[in-house]
């Protein structure tokens, strides 16, 4: 795969110094490679986006909506190929890869609808002072750099691409070097639809490519999803140019289970919150707060449920959970297993890497974890669940909020008034009540504290790529 970069409407060979190996995590072996883009090619991509901006932002909202619906339709036409590449490159079970694709399709369709409503967003502004009129005009923010992670590549890129294009922005997309293949579909679809050259550009590479993009003076905005350590670098790059940035970063989220909850239902919600995508989610509810009255019944059933999960190669087996996506992540999770042993944590399930080919670990549960444990406070990004008990609603809220992160939380209780009250008290961006982590494109996504800046999805996702202009006219 030498022509792996889509710049100014053409597929070009990478001219960088890095060769990117694309791995099958279920086997721990590479199955493709590509050359990274050079800094000069990043320049070319930004220049192409800058050149395409005037004509693209001048297109009608209905025309942009037509392109977005075209993306949705052609993603569906590539369904089996996109599912397969996610299973092979990410290690996702088939049902997870299917949901990811459906989410991406829904995102493009949703922002097509919002794009068609854009003319109604320009409105007259009533003024108290006589002799003047004013109107609000929403304009695209300009050329945006989009940097997406490896855990949900098809979905996260859709969350950024669709609203950016709907707003009239032109983009340079930088996929993760761990999972660079699935985003190639966006360039192929752009070709097929006849999207004007330069509106969408895709450059692949490692940290150097990301740095070249985030430091580029030709961008008007950056949107990044990934780790806090890289996010802080992206923010520094944005601050040097005094330009806006959206950051969706880490999490160490809590799931709070009250003693009036149905035990079996609670187990289902807990397992889904920590093992979906092998726990490689910023939203993983990896801190379990369980009320004293239900703990003795819940923890053994939770242990049994985790031990029953089928872990294996999604391409050859019927599985509930696949491997970790990269060797680096496998080594990181294994290091936390070692830390747990050093801290003397009580392991009820898992706590080890699996003795087989590929980057597999067991779904893991630790009980009575102290709140100063590294496993309780740090984002692990794997299927590792830490449990603590609480007595009162006030204690549960305090412990859930005692984190430097604030992305999501889940509340499980038969008392809906209490569940709603606790949801309002939690210092996070999104709360589920008695549910798995169902994410809908109409809602917002983003967090508080160290979990990032700004919101994606919903109308907030579109407004992130718009600037507000007021036009005031004197009538005299």
Is residue 100 a part of any domain in this protein? Answer: yes
Mean pLDDT throughout 447-456?
A: 97
Residues 136 and 274 in one domain: no
Give the residue among 389, 320, 393, 311 at the shortest CA–CA distance from 355: 311
Asked whether residue 406 is domain-assigned, the answer is yes
Looking at the structure, do residues 243 and 369 belong to the same domain, yes or no?
no
Quick one: 99 exposed, middle or buried, by C-beta within 10 A (0-12, 13-18, 19+)? Answer: middle
Indicate if the pLDDT at residue 121 is higher than 80: no
Is 445 within a domain?
A: no
Expressed in percent and rounded to 5, the helix, strand and coil fractions of the chain are: 40, 20, 35
For residues 16 and 165, membership in a common domain is answered with: yes
C-alpha distances in Å from residue 459, one per residue of 114, 121, 163: 8, 12, 9
Q: Is the residue at 125 inside a domain?
A: yes
Q: What is the pLDDT of residue 122?
A: 81
Above 90 in pLDDT, residue 419?
yes
Q: According to the model, what pLDDT value does residue 120 have?
A: 75
Q: Is residue 345 part of a domain?
A: yes
Residues 132 and 186 reside in one and the same domain: yes
**pLDDT reported for residue 446:** 97
Question: What pLDDT does residue 358 have?
Answer: 97
| 394 and 467, same domain (yes or no) | no
Catalytic residue selected from 96, 183, 248, 379? 248
Q: 324: Cβ–Cβ under 8 A, 6 or more apart, which residues?
A: 25, 91, 278, 280, 330, 333, 359, 360, 361, 382
> Which positions ≥6 away from 392 have C-beta within 8 Å?
none
Q: Which pair of tokens denotes residue 399?
A: 């412990």
Tell me, yes or no, whether 446 lies in a domain. Answer: no
Give me the mean pLDDT over the 126-144 stretch. Answer: 94
Are both 278 and 391 inside the same structural domain?
Answer: yes
The whole model's pTM is what?
0.96
The pLDDT value given to residue 300:
98
Question: pLDDT at residue 298 above 90?
Answer: yes
Options 282, 379, 386, 399, the catalytic residue: 282
Q: What is the CATH number of the domain that holds 135?
A: 3.40.605.10
Q: What is the pLDDT of residue 166?
A: 98
Domain count, the chain: 2
Tell me, yes or no, if 282 is annotated catalytic. yes
Please check the confidence at residue 2 and state whether its pLDDT lies above 60. no
Which two structure tokens, joined as six digits, stand for 450? Answer: 């160290």
Taking residues 126-148, what's their average pLDDT?
A: 95
Q: Can you tell me the mean pLDDT for 41-52?
A: 98
Tell me the mean pLDDT in the region 193-203: 98
Residues 94 and 31 in one domain: yes
Q: Residue 185: inside a domain, yes or no?
A: yes
Q: Are residues 205 and 64 in the same domain?
A: yes
pLDDT of 1 over the 80 cut: no
Same domain, 200 and 169: yes
Q: Is the pLDDT of residue 218 over 70?
A: yes
Q: Is residue 147 part of a domain?
A: yes
Say yes or no: 349 and 397 in one domain.
yes
Residues 352-398 have pLDDT tens digits of 999 999 999 999 999 999 999 999 999 999 999 999 999 999 999 99
Same domain, 286 and 203: no
- Do 282 and 236 have their domain in common? no
For residue 138, what are the domain limits?
A: 5-249+451-474
Query: What is the reported pLDDT for 67?
Result: 98
3-state secondary structure 418-456: HHHHHHHHCCCCEEEECCCCCCCCCCCECCEECCEECCE
Give the model's pLDDT for residue 12: 95
**pLDDT for 3:** 65
CATH number for the domain harbouring residue 341: 3.40.309.10
State the Cα–Cα distance between residues 16 and 409, nearest whole angstrom: 42
Q: Is 409 helix (H, G, I), strand (E, B) or coil?
A: strand
Average of per-residue pLDDT values in the chain: 96
63 is catalytic: no
């Amino acid at each position: 795969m030498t022509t792996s970069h889509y710049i100014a409407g053409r597929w070009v060979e990478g001219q960088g110094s890095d060769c990117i190996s694309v791995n099958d995590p279920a086997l721990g072996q590479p199955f493709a490679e590509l050359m990274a883009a050079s800094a000069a090619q990043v320049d070319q991509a930004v220049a192409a986006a800058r050149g395409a901006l005037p004509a693209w932002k001048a297109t009608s909202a209905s025309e942009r909506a037509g392109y977005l619906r075209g993306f949705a339709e052609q993603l569906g036409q590539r369904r089996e190929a996109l599912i397969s590449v996610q299973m092979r490159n990410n290690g996702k079970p088939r049902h997870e890869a299917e949901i990811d694709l459906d989410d991406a399709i829904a995102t493009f369709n949703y922002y097509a609808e919002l794009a068609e409503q854009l003319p109604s967003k320009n409105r007259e502004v009533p003024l108290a002072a006589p002799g003047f009129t004013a109107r609000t005009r929403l304009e695209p923010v300009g050329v945006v750099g989009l940097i997406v992670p490896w855990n949900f590549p098809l979905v996260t890129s859709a969350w950024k691409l669709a609203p950016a294009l709907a707003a009239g922005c032109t983009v340079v997309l930088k996929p993760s070097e761990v999972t660079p293949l699935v985003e190639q579909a966006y360039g192929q679809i752009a070709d097929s639809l006849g999207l004007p050259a330069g509106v969408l550009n895709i450059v692949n590479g490692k940290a150097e490519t990301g740095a070249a993009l985030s430091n580029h003076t030709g961008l008007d905005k950056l949107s990044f999803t990934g780790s806090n350590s890289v996010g802080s670098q992206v923010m520094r790059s944005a601050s040097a140019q005094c330009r806006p940035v959206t950051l969706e970063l880490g999490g160490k989220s809590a799931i709070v289970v009250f003693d009036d909850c149905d035990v079996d239902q609670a187990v289902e919600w807990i397992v889904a919150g920590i093992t979906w995508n092998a726990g490689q989610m910023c939203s993983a509810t990896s801190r379990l707060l369980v009320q004293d009255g239900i703990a003795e019944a819940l923890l053994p059933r939770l242990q049994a449920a985790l031990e029953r999960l089928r872990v294996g190669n999604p391409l050859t087996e019927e599985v509930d959970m696949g491997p970790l996506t990269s060797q680096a992540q496998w080594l990181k999770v294994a290091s936390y297993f070692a830390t747990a042993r050093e801290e003397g944590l009580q392991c009820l399930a898992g706590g080890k890497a699996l003795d087989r080919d590929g980057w597999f670990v067991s779904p893991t549960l630790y009980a009575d974890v102290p709140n100063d444990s590294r496993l309780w406070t740090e984002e692990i990004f794997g299927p590792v669940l830490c449990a603590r008990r609480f007595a009162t609603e006030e204690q549960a809220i305090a412990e859930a909020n005692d984190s430097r992160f604030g992305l999501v939380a889940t509340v499980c209780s038969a008392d809906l008034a209490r569940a709603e009250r606790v949801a309002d008290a939690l210092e996070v961006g999104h709360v589920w009540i008695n549910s798995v982590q169902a994410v809908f494109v109409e809602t917002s996504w983003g967090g508080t504290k160290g979990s990032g800046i700004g919101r994606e999805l919903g109308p907030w996702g579109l407004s992130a790529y718009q600037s507000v202009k007021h036009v005031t006219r004197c009538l005299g």
